[in-house]
Amino acid sequence: MCGLIIFVATAGKFGGALIAARVTGLDWGHSVGLGILMNTRGLMELIVLNVGLDLGAISPALFAMLVIMALTTTLATSPLLSLLNVGWANELQSGLDRPSAVRLRSAAKSSLKAES
């Protein structure tokens, strides 16, 4: 049952983002990358699940499966991007070493030191 929840949640969010990205004119590589990135769930979903459990709207078993789904899809994002070699995501990571990014980080650190 937990595997089915993970599959449906992943397929729905990935597919929806992929189709929307293609309709708006993005190429396949960017569309796939966007679909993968949209599968991260995050803190908000965990908060909503806790509220649902506290209100009795979901059972403890369903709560556990949804938390596992949220963690699994979030943890799978980075390895999937690397595995599929989504070019623009790799460029973004390597872009942090570009001179402009280094200057920006230096300026931010200097600003923080000046404030303290």
Pick 110 or 64 by higher pLDDT: 64
> What sign results for the dihedral spanned by CA atoms 80, 84, 90, 92?
negative
pLDDT of residue 77: 85
pLDDT of residue 27: 85
* Tokens encoding 108: 């931010």
Quick check: helix, strand or coil at residue 92? Answer: helix
pLDDT of residue 4: 92
Confidence at 58, pLDDT banded by 50, 70, 90: very high
Pick 86 or 5 by higher pLDDT: 5
What average pLDDT does range 32-43 have in this prediction? 85
What average pLDDT does range 83-108 have in this prediction? 57
Confidence at 103, pLDDT banded by 50, 70, 90: low
Confidence at 19, pLDDT banded by 50, 70, 90: very high
pTM of the shown model: 0.65
How far apart CA 75 and CA 38 sit, in angstroms, is: 12
